[in-house]
Structure 1
Amino acid sequence: MELKDQVVLVTGGSRGLGSDIVRAFAREGAKVVINYLNSEERAAQLQQSIGDQAVAIQADVTNAEQVRDLFKRAESHFGKPVTTIVNNALVNFKFDPIAKKDAASIEWADYQAQLEGAVHGALNTIQAGLGQMKQLGFGRVINIGTNLFQNPVVAYHDYTTSKAALLGFTRNMANELGQHGITVNMVSGGLLKVTDASSATSEEVFKIIESSTPLRRVTDPTEVADTIVFFASPWARAVTGQNLVVDGGLVMN
């Protein structure tokens, strides 16, 4: 299915990387659902800037009932079901190397909160869209990971562990759903300059990453967004279960 024929849900789509993902899909002619939890004003502004191709819908991705309602409202608005899911929502996390919890202070509740947002949220969206995707014989799921679980330059224990779990989730879903024409992949950016989540990162950390990266610069959110669009495009139709790191070559697989 061509991008212009897809209905794309971007969770956490009102700000940060999510807003760049929304714009990238809209640029290619797709219909885009801007999911948000608290950022109503920013979601509305983004929708207005795109026009009829976009709709903003509030839902908590960790709440299965709200997610099912989100899918119904999206289908009602566009007259066709969601074909493509980008699991981007980030629950209550800041990339702050100074204020982060260390090994002595991190609590299991911190891990649970990030696992809820990353894995439970992705499970809810996939299950909400799975029936329609099977009927269509087409589906694209792109989960947003991180290069930190391969190269933890800063030990964000809870966040990094949840994204490592999300990769296992991605590959299991890819294995089961491929027979229905549904691909499931992950795109893992590095620290991005600059999103809401990375705004607390010190310039010192950015300089360390910049000097360690073959491209000698920190990755821009638009570059990650374009890679996500690739996974939804016909050019990636034979790709599933993969984790593509988009960080300027800092982590090489």
Structure 2
Amino acid sequence: MTGTPGRVALVTGASSGIGAATARLLAARGTGVVVNYLSSAEAAEEVVAGIGAAGGRAMAVQADVREAAAIEDMVGRVRAAWGGIDVLVHNALIPYAVKSFQEMTWGELGGKLDAELHAAFAVTKAVLPHMTEQGWGRIVYLGTGLSRRPRAGMVALGTAKAALEGLARYLAQELGPHGITVNVVAPGAVEDTRMAGVTGDAVRERQVAATPLGRLARPADVAQAIAFYTGEDNTFMTGTTAAVNGGMTMY
């Protein structure tokens, strides 16, 4: 499988977990990687240093992807250093409330929906001019299996990510004629991520028991699916959602 050598990828929320694993994998395949982070500067620089030590290209850029001005500044810095952004992996996790619908306020549910879609909207808008001009681009959004398989307390996250999947399909239809693919990678439970700490050991054990492959996903498993969608080998898949959950949910 080939990557996108010579191209540039922006990975949002790339200082740890799935984002960091994706940044490392894309860099190993020859792509220059922008490691975006919100507040974990030291962790982001460690990812960059590791990529550099392995012979790859990477730069860390701080930006809150919920703020259009910050995104424009980030893209401008990348453009000045490396030219345009060819690949967008929008992985940044927007905070959300973990509680039942009956306990939740509209501010918590509506706020998550607004922040989730606004971030995706703004970062996509910022990278599209270059992709459209060159007639080639790859966009991957990180979704969640909770969009289709509800779990107690996850109504805000699951609903917001379901909306993101809908946006991705509309963008796939509109941007296809420009040579741009848009897909979603929807992990199930993933080890070694911030979301992994939301549930306890009992829930984790039940999840493992319900997974035909006998374990939870690792960040590297999710990164492999993302890397396929971003690469030259993906010539004819757009508007799709890849479930990376070991068979826990099949659709």
Question: Aligned pair 1:90/2:93, yes or no?
Answer: yes
Contact 2:37 2:61 in 1 (8 A): yes
Gaps of 5+ in 1: 95-99
User: How many residue pairs align between the two structures?
Assistant: 247
Aligned ranges for residues 154-169 of structure 1 at < 5 Å?
154-169=152-167
Matched, 1:135 2:133: yes
Q: Which runs of 5+ in 2 are unaligned?
A: none
Measured after TM superposition, the shift of residue 115 of structure 1 is 2.2
Matching residue's letter, 1:169: L
Residue range with higher mean Cα deviation, 48-57 or 242-251: 48-57
Q: 1:89, 1:118 within 8 Å by CA — same for their partners in 2? A: no
Does the aligned pair in 2 maintain the 1:89–1:117 contact within 8 Å? Answer: no
What does 1:29-68 correspond to in 2, within 5 Å? Answer: 29-51=30-52, 53-68=57-72
**Residue 3 of structure 2 contacts residue 29 of structure 2 at CA under 8 Å; is this kept in 1?**
no
Q: Verify the 8 A CA contact 1:151 1:251 in the aligned structure 2.
A: yes
What aligned pairs does 1:74-89 form with structure 2 within 5 A after superposition?
A: 74-78=78-82, 80-89=83-92
Write the distance in 1 (CA, Å) between the matches of 2:115 and 2:227: 22
SS at match of 1:4: coil
Match status 1:236 vs 2:234: yes
Structure 1 counterpart SS, 2:198 = coil
Contact 1:90/1:117 (CA < 8 Å) preserved in 2? no
- Corresponding position of 2:73: 69
Say which of 211, 228, 233 aligns to 2:209. 211
Are 1:174 and 2:168 counterparts? no
Percent sequence identity is 35
What is the TM-score with the length of structure 1 in the denominator?
Answer: 0.93
TM-score, scaled relative to structure 2:
0.94
1:117 Cα shift?
Answer: 3.7
Q: CA RMSD in A?
A: 1.5
Q: Is the contact made by 1:61 and 1:117 (CA closer than 8 Å) also made in structure 2?
A: no
**Equivalence for 2:218:** 220
* 1:149–1:163 CA contact under 8 A, matched in 2: yes
Runs of 4+ in 1 over 4 A off after TM superposition: none
The equivalent of 1:198 in structure 2 is 196
In 2, Cα distance between the equivalents of 1:64 and 1:245? Answer: 30
Note the alpha carbon deviations across 1:26-50, whole angstroms, 9 max, x for none: 1111100011111111111111121
**Deviations 1:119-174 (CA, angstroms, capped at 9, x unpaired):** 11111111111111111100100000001121123340111100000000000000
Amino acid at match of 1:194: D
Using the alignment, how far apart are the partners of 2:112 and 2:28 within structure 1? 31
- Contact conserved, 2:96 with 2:108, CA < 8 A, in 1? no
TM-superposed CA distance for 1:214, in Å, is: 1.1
